[in-house]
């Protein structure tokens, strides 16, 4: 079985999107969504840019600010972005029990971000993208399951 998600409006799996309105706190700082956290971390060398992204009104605005190349990316971004996404996703599902239940209820199903415009985090328009967000969600599911069994 394969579970596809993309829009936050899709029930129940829209909550797998980083745009879902489920806040997280990491290192004593609150972020409105996991997207806010992920985008803010692109600018860990620039407190003002980080704060601008963190305070963005919506996850879409946070993403737009994070993709703004007039704001210089941290030099190690490509090396750390997957681990930052892992941290954000794990925190989201550890924080929100209702979301954790939805993720755990997927069993062993493959989880796929059906994002036509994203071949890295999703599968892209032709379905051959890397699906890194889906893979991280499945990793998170295994971590949460292990935590329950401990």
pTM of the model: 0.96
**Hey, what are 111's tokens?**
């989880």
- Residue 55 near residue 64, CB atoms below 8 Å: no
Report the mean per-residue pLDDT for the chain. Answer: 97
Q: Where are the domains of the chain?
A: 2-149
pLDDT in tens, the chain (150 residues): 999 999 999 999 999 999 999 999 999 999 999 999 999 999 999 999 999 999 999 999 999 999 999 999 999 999 999 999 999 999 999 999 999 999 999 999 999 999 999 999 999 999 999 999 999 999 999 999 999 998
**CA 111 – CA 135 distance, rounded (Å):** 7
**What fold characterizes domain 2-149?**
Tetracycline Repressor; domain 2 (1.10.357)
pLDDT digit string (tens) for 111-146? 999 999 999 999 999 999 999 999 999 999 999 999
């Amino acid at each position: 079985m394969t579970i596809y998600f993309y829009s936050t409006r899709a029930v129940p799996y829209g909550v797998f999107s980083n745009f879902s309105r489920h806040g997280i706190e990491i290192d004593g700082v609150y972020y409105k969504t996991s997207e806010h956290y992920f985008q803010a971390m692109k600018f860990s060398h620039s407190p003002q840019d980080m704060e601008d992204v963190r305070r963005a009104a919506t996850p879409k605005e946070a993403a737009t600010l994070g993709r703004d190349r007039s704001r210089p990316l941290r030099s190690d971004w490509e090396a750390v972005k997957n681990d930052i996404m892992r941290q954000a996703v794990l925190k989201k599902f550890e924080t929100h029990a209702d979301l954790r239940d939805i993720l755990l209820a997927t069993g062993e199903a493959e989880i796929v971000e059906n994002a036509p415009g994203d071949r890295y985090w999703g599968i892209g328009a032709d379905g051959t993208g890397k699906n890194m967000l889906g893979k991280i969600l499945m990793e998170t599911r295994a971590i949460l399951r292990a935590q329950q069994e401990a």
